[in-house]
Chains A and B, each alone.
Chain A
Amino acid sequence: MAFDDNRLSYLNRLAGKRYFMLGDEACAYGAIYAGCDFIAGYPITPASEIAELLARELPRAGGICIQMEDELASIAAIIGASWTGARTMTATSGPGFSLMQENLGYAVMTETPCVVVDVQRSGPSTGQATKPAQGDMMQARWGTHGDHNIIALSPNSGQECLDLMLECFNLADEYRTPVILLMDGEIGHIRESVLMPDPEQITHKTRKAARPGEDVFGGDDLVPGMVHYGAGRNIHVTGSTHKANGMRDVTTPEVHDALIRRIYAKIDQNREKIVRVEADTDPRGPARIGVISYGASSRPARGAVLAARSEGIAVDFLRLITIWPFARTQVAEFAKDLDIILVPEMNLGQMSREIERFVDCRVQPVSKIGGIPHTIGQIHRAIREAV
């Protein structure tokens, strides 16, 4: 996919400049660089700034931003728009993300590329509406009903909000699936220096097009080609179980089995291609203690690892950038020689349990809830206690 003239001239004005901006705003610029054509959203703290920036800037780049009547409608509109060939997204926080779950499953079932940003805040329910949390990690994985797979990425800086949005849109198109950017309120509202890339350096993956007569919901490949509305193909898109040609068949067990297993497998079998982590093993030799973290928590976690190392404690560090599919190979490899893994996260141990499934050593959550992120000192103490 190449930028159209409007988008290119808009981005050329930004290229190479450095701005001090919110993580939410960097995420919004990432969407513009990703070629996002359409965003539909609904106001919610701490995600509103994404739609606000896109409402101001996206039309200047030739795209469209609308505010819908609620989050149900927002995700519905972007799924509908995606079938016209547009790159589409919405942005929300926990309560809105909860409302979106049914249609998120619709996007999974109909294999509709789209990007959903969840800037996590403290829950359940209204919780601490303005405070950050990482409590939606499992909701992102299993929030919608039924067997399915999902892709979710988690940035830990303003710059990465921009960079990962590009990746989210590419993954959505490549695998024909909704992709979630799992931010947290801390990263959404952090204010950092962000470099605007050169648009010439941006690569966009294009959606695979179905050949004439080829089925749009199955076939030989795990990811079928797509046909957009208005092409005269009479495409039938349904959230009901369907055959490869898109027509509903909710009674044949083999049809459901083949469809759901393929939708599951297209992400599962490409896990190693999708997954990104950032490992920082202790340069001085074998560590017995490891720290795994992600998003906002990974920043004090890394600080604590460096502080411990300066005291002579050997500690390995791993940051999950891809949350789903889970980096099971990378985590298992990381844990090989460790006695204990500490997992700082702003929830009561959601990813700790997932890590536990794939390692032999002890896994200990370093949980922080209440709306204030970990300090370096808190995690540093946990490392000392683990020695």
Chain B
Amino acid sequence: MEEYRHRLMDYVREEIMPHRFCTGCGCGTVLNAFVNAVEGVGLSPAKMVCVSGIGCSSWIPSPYFRSDTLHTTHGRPIAFATGVKIMRPDLTVIVIAGDGDVAGIGGNHLIHAARRNIDLSVFMVNNMIYGMTGGQVAPTTPYGVKTSTTPHNNVEPAFKVAELVMTAGASYVARWTTYHVFPLMESMQNAIRKRGFSFIEIVSQCPDNYGRRIGLRTAVEFLHQFKEKAVRIDKTAGMSEAELADRIIIGKLCDRERPEFTAELHALTRRIVAALKQEQPA
């Protein structure tokens, strides 16, 4: 009998499987959705560069996804990816990293990349906590949650990252959760295809370092909660801010055509070089 081999194994570095995410971690689901999306788009990993930072979800592309990979310093993957994309605009450059990395320490790079509208797809896995370091408060941790560095209470409100990125100028912004796997897959395909800055906030579960602090011990409990709290963006029109406070707004926040940074930059360079050729030799 032939040994069973999953059709998507070609997209992962099989030699280092099984992965090392904790039991019930949402990162496996995101990896699953991502490889399905890459297959769905019909993209060859040979034409991709995956860039990640520091944190659990940065392990989704590095080491697990089989493409050229740049595993960078904490918070900086979007800045590194900017250099790759400018010099190789023909390659598809994907950033996968966590909320602490992308919206915390690296928040400045996020908003400026969105403003430039550079053709990157950024998939931010938001588990609402610093998981890898053991459960410290994140800029995405909800108000009132006790974490290892807010043992008495978190008195800061959480960042609405997707809305921030939309305001900063991105072409495509969506938010989904690890419960909404099929819409997430479709959204990832749209993000990869989109010419411009694409951002998906993926609300995900961390049973070990977040769930145990808020009374959700298993991934199943988390997914039930995501299902209950989720409200599609087209259903939010009549809802008050108070009604939305504890909800997760899911769906596509924006999908629009805006000038893309690397295309603008290279067109400008071509014009300058052509103009110089017209000039008489100095």
Chain A residues packing against B (C-beta within 8 Å): 6, 9-10, 12-13, 37-38, 40, 59-60, 62-64, 66, 68-70, 72-74, 76-86, 88, 102-103, 106, 229-240, 247-248
Contacts and interface: CB of A to CB of B under 8 A. Distances in A.
Interface residues of B, number: 43
Nearest to B85: A80
B4 to A, nearest CB: 24
A235 B70 CA distance: 8
B17 interface: no
B80 A236 contact: no
Given A13-B281, A59-B273, A64-B265, A83 B71 contact: no
B87 A81 contact: yes
B207 to A, nearest CB: 24
Contacts of A40: 82-83
A106 B45 CA distance: 25
Nearest to B77: A76
B62 A236 contact: yes
A103 B86 contact: no
A235 B276 contact: no
26 contacts: A9-B276, A12-B281, A13-B281, A59-B272, A60-B272, A60-B276, A64-B87, A64-B269, A66-B86, A68-B79, A72-B75, A73-B108, A76-B83, A80-B82, A80-B84, A81-B83, A83-B68, A83-B70, A85-B87, A106-B72, A229-B68, A229-B84, A229-B88, A230-B46, A238-B62, A248-B71
A240 B58 CA distance: 13
Contacts of B81: 80
Contacts, number: 138
Contacts of B46: 230, 232, 234
Interface in B239-282: 265-266, 268-269, 272-273, 276-277, 281-282
Contacts of B112: 68-69, 73
Interface in B66-114: 66-73, 75-76, 79-84, 86-88, 90-91, 108-109, 112
Contacts of B269: 59, 62-64
B69 A235 contact: yes
A38 B83 contact: yes
A103 B49 contact: no
Given A69-B112, A106-B72, A88 B273 contact: no
A233 B276 contact: no
A124 B70 CA distance: 33
B51 interface: yes
A205 to B, nearest CB: 20
Given A68-B79, A76-B79, A106-B72, 7 more contacts: A37-B87, A68-B112, A76-B82, A229-B88, A230-B49, A231-B68, A236-B71
A239 B268 contact: no
A248 B273 CA distance: 43
A77 B71 contact: no
B193 interface: no
A239 B16 contact: no
B47 interface: yes
B26 interface: no
Given A38-B87, A234-B45, A77 B80 contact: yes
A75 to B, nearest CB: 8
Contact of A237 (B13, B70, B277): B70
B262 to A, nearest CB: 9
A184 to B, nearest CB: 28
Contacts of B276: 9-10, 60
B84 A83 contact: yes
Interface in B7-39: 13, 16
A261 B46 CA distance: 32
Contacts of A86: 87
Nearest to A78: B83
B63 interface: yes
Given A76-B80, A229-B91, A236-B62, A38 B72 contact: no
Contacts of B109: 69, 72-73, 76
Given A60-B273, A247-B63, A239 B68 contact: no
Interface of B: 13, 16, 45-47, 49, 51, 62-63, 66-73, 75-76, 79-84, 86-88, 90-91, 108-109, 112, 265-266, 268-269, 272-273, 276-277, 281-282
Closest 3 CB pairs of A and B: A80-B83, A77-B83, A81-B83
A79 to B, nearest CB: 6
A230 B71 contact: no
A84 B71 CA distance: 15
Contacts of B45: 234
A305 B49 CA distance: 56
Given A234-B68, A236-B63, A77 B272 contact: no
A81 B72 CA distance: 13
A16 B70 CA distance: 42
A78 B268 CA distance: 20
Given A59-B272, A66-B86, A238-B62, A80 B71 contact: no
A229 B49 contact: yes
A237 B51 CA distance: 9
Contact of A239 (B47, B63, B72, B90): B72
B47 A106 contact: no
Contacts of A233: 68
A13 B80 contact: no
A54 to B, nearest CB: 13
Nearest to A58: B269
Nearest to B66: A234
A240 B272 contact: no
A153 B282 CA distance: 33
Nearest to B271: A59
Given A86-B87, A234-B67, A68 B76 contact: no
B14 to A, nearest CB: 12
Contact of B82 (A68, A234, A248): A68
Contacts of A102: 73
B211 to A, nearest CB: 26
A88 B272 contact: no
